[in-house]
């Protein structure tokens, strides 16, 4: 019975996540960007922009330049989570890939990196007057949710173990549209319940910074405002441009 409830929950959460994020991405991709509003100093070529985005996503470059404390905590949390998630692949593939085996022991420890990062980011929202003032309930709830997921995971990993073979069989079943039995210990149920909640709220939350960063005109545009005039699609039928000024077809 509980296994079926969780199965339905996960199918629903997956549909909402995929469709929801897809709709958001579509909206971002079709929103006109009539002006070149890139933050300078910015690259002057496309290749330069790719390199800039790489540094932004891998190193959080702009955050590093603006605030070292937030950078440390955000970096611990995000990279900790990435390695934890890669380790989780072992519940979703029949034969665990060799590199997942290798990172697995580190992934287990990364629960603490995640928690340290999240608690640091949270402390800042609570203790720093100026940041507390601009924090919404959703900012706190998001951090609480992720702390809940990481803490319940770490509890299972280090304190009250669950039957991970059974978890794996259940997850592999779900991927093949077969609903088996999952272990029913409370910590696992909390862990999975919170994960489903995270998936459901993803498309309507600040977690949209994940696809969003790739559509941020202030970072993704080429600094060529002097060489090229940007004309949005909707403005193409306006009176013609003065001679000698080329239209930028990408706008
Ligand atoms: C492409 C991948 C990602 C990038 C480049 C990225 C980057 C960032 C950056 C730069 C911040 C800013 C910290 C600040 O200025 O306060 C941030 C915050 C945050 N990120 Fe990500 N992120 C990514 C993926 C994710 C994912 C997958 C999650 C969760 C599932 C997540 C959860 C959060 C949360 C909750 C915060 C807010 C922390 C706070 O309240 O202070 N991020 N992210
Ligand atoms: C359906 C998806 C998921 C399943 C089936 C799952 C299952 C599990 C299980 C069974 C454990 C215990 C591992 C052990 O005893 O060795 C665990 C640990 C953990 N989980 Fe998850 N989890 C899921 C998603 C997530 C997500 C999305 C996050 C983070 C945002 C997360 C964070 C953690 C952490 C930090 C640990 C402790 C470290 C570790 O053992 O890897 N889990 N998870």
pLDDT digit string, tens, across residues 78-111: 999 999 999 999 999 999 999 999 999 999 999 9
Nearest ligand, measured from the Cα of 185: 2
Q: How far is CA 97 from CA 69, 107, 136, 166, 179, in A?
A: 36, 14, 41, 19, 24
- 15-19, 225-229, 235-239: which has the highest mean pLDDT? 15-19
State in Å: Cα 86 to ligand 1 middle. Answer: 17
Nearest ligand, measured from the Cα of 189: 2
Identify the pLDDT of residue 33.
Answer: 83
Query: How much is the average pLDDT of 140-167?
Result: 96
Pick from 26-30, 216-220, 243-247: least confident: 243-247
Identify the pLDDT of residue 247.
Answer: 64
Residue 88: closest CA among 71, 108, 70: 108
Mutate to test the pocket of ligand 1, among 210, 219, 220 (most ligand atoms within 8 A of CB): 210
State in Å: Cα 133 to ligand 2 middle. Answer: 33
Q: Which atom of ligand 2 is nearest to the CA of 198?
A: 27
Long-range contacts of 60-66 (CB under 8 A, 24+ apart): 62/219
**pLDDT, averaged across the chain:** 93
Identify the pLDDT of residue 248.
Answer: 61
pLDDT digit string, tens, across residues 174-233: 999 999 999 999 999 999 999 999 999 999 999 999 999 999 999 999 998 888 877 767
The confidence band for 251, taking pLDDT boundaries of 50, 70 and 90, is very low
Nearest CA to ligand 2 atom 10: 164
Q: Contact 141/94 with Cβ under 8 angstroms? A: no
pLDDT digit string, tens, across residues 61-74: 999 999 999 999 99
Q: Which atom of ligand 1 is nearest to the CA of 57?
A: 5
């Amino acid at each position: 019975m509980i296994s079926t409830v969780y199965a339905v929950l996960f199918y629903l959460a997956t549909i909402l996540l995929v469709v929801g994020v897809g709709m958001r991405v579509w909206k971002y991709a079709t929103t006109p960007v009539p002006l070149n509003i890139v933050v300078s100093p910015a690259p002057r070529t496309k290749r330069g922009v790719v390199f800039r985005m790489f540094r932004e996503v891998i190193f959080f470059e702009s955050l590093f330049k603006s605030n070292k404390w937030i950078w440390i905590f955000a970096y611990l949390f995000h990279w900790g989570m990435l390695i934890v998630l890669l380790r989780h692949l072992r519940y979703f593939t029949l034969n665990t890939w060799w590199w997942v085996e290798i990172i697995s022991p580190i992934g287990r420890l990364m629960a603490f990196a995640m928690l340290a990062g999240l608690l640091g980011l949270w402390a800042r929202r609570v203790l720093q007057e100026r940041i507390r003032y601009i924090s919404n309930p959703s900012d706190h709830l998001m951090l609480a949710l992720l702390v809940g997921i990481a803490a319940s995971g770490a509890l299972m990993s280090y304190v009250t173990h669950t039957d991970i073979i059974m978890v794996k069989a259940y997850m592999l079943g779900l991927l093949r549209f077969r609903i088996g039995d999952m272990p029913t210990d409370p910590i696992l149920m909390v862990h999975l319940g919170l994960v489903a909640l995270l998936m459901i709220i993803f498309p309507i939350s600040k977690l949209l910074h994940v696809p969003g960063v790739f559509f941020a005109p202030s970072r993704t545009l080429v600094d060529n405002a002097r060489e090229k005039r940007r004309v949005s699609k909707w403005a193409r039928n306006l009176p013609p441009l003065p001679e000698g000024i080329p239209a930028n077809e990408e706008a």
